[in-house]
Structure 1
Amino acid sequence: MKDDLPVGLVLSDVKAELFKSIGHPARIQLLEMLADGPVAVSRLRDGTGLEPSNLSQHLGVLRRQRLVIPSRQDGRLFYELSCPEVSGLLLAARSLLGTVQQSTRLTMMPLDEPAAEAAVR
């Protein structure tokens, strides 16, 4: 990805805005629903259980960040991911969480079971 940011923008600030835009469980759920291709708004609403106005707000955040793009087909509104890297980011996050969880589990595992039981008593 080339660095074609407007002059004056700091990359860390832009990244922070990106992470803020996906920093809500509903928006992550929406992005994951769109990973396999365009989805009608009605299906997004049913799949998330969000009220129409709330769904619209979340989609607006994702649109402004250019993570999703809307389109109309036969009078119905659809959304899709703007690029495959969005799915890649979600997969990377899942992988990171799995790695962190596994390493945390390993560091919290007692080295000596009898010593761990004695500490509880």
Structure 2
Amino acid sequence: MPDDLPAGLVLVDVKAELFKSLGHPARIQLLEMLADGPVAVSRLRDDTGLEPSNLSQHLSLLRRQRLIVPSRRDGRLFYELASPEVNVLLAAARSLLGTLLHTSRLTLSPLGEAANQDAIR
């Protein structure tokens, strides 16, 4: 790391790259599929419906970000999450989205009630 760059700035950049790597629905789906343990590439392909070349690109990006790791068993290629923290991140995202959705519903609820009252009149 160059001496003229603040450590915090570099960390922010690394975090931004991590979140960019999570910025595609197919990659989130792949990570969710790996949450319970290793999965064969053939199953990832079948369950996602992704073309092999597209699947390979997504897996490659997740590997470069060190979110997943490959392994071979009985001549088949498997992938698994690189660490339990990936699962923690996915769970945190689900929790946050649930909170945001709940908050949105509460915020929109008075608007819906007002529309219903107008329709009754």
Q: TM-score range by the shorter chain?
A: 0.7 to 0.9
Structure 1 residue ranges without an equivalent (≥5)? 1-5
Structure-2 separation of matches of 1:112 and 1:72: 54
Q: Which structure features the higher share of helix residues?
A: 2
The answer to whether the 8 Å contact 1:32/1:90 transfers is: yes
**Matched residue, 1:20:** 20
Structure-2 separation of matches of 1:33 and 1:53: 19
The question of 1:31 aligning with 2:62 is answered no
Task: Count residues with an aligned counterpart.
Answer: 116
Structure-1 separation of matches of 2:28 and 2:111: 37
**Matched residue, 1:105:** 105
Structure-2 separation of matches of 1:34 and 1:113: 42
Identity of aligned residues (%): 74
**Matched residue, 1:89:** 89
1:107 deviates by: 1.2
**Given the superposition, is the C-alpha separation of residues 46 and 114 from structure 1 closer, same or farther in structure 2, using an over 3 Å criterion?**
closer
Structure 2 SS opposite 1:110: helix
After superposition, residues 54-65 of structure 1 pair within 5 angstroms as 54-65=54-65
1:108 deviates by: 1.3
**Given the superposition, is the C-alpha separation of residues 110 and 116 from structure 1 closer, same or farther in structure 2, using an over 3 Å criterion?**
farther
RMSD of aligned residue pairs (Cα, Å): 2.2
**Given the superposition, is the C-alpha separation of residues 116 and 36 from structure 1 closer, same or farther in structure 2, using an over 3 Å criterion?**
same
Structure 2 residue ranges without an equivalent (≥5)? none
* Paired letter, 1:93: A
The answer to whether the 8 Å contact 1:110/1:116 transfers is: no
CA offset digits 1:52-86 (Å, max 9, x no partner) = 10000000000000000001111100000000000
1:120 deviates by: 8.9
**Given the superposition, is the C-alpha separation of residues 115 and 68 from structure 1 closer, same or farther in structure 2, using an over 3 Å criterion?**
closer
Structure-1 separation of matches of 2:52 and 2:115: 55
CA offset digits 1:11-34 (Å, max 9, x no partner) = 111000000001100000000000
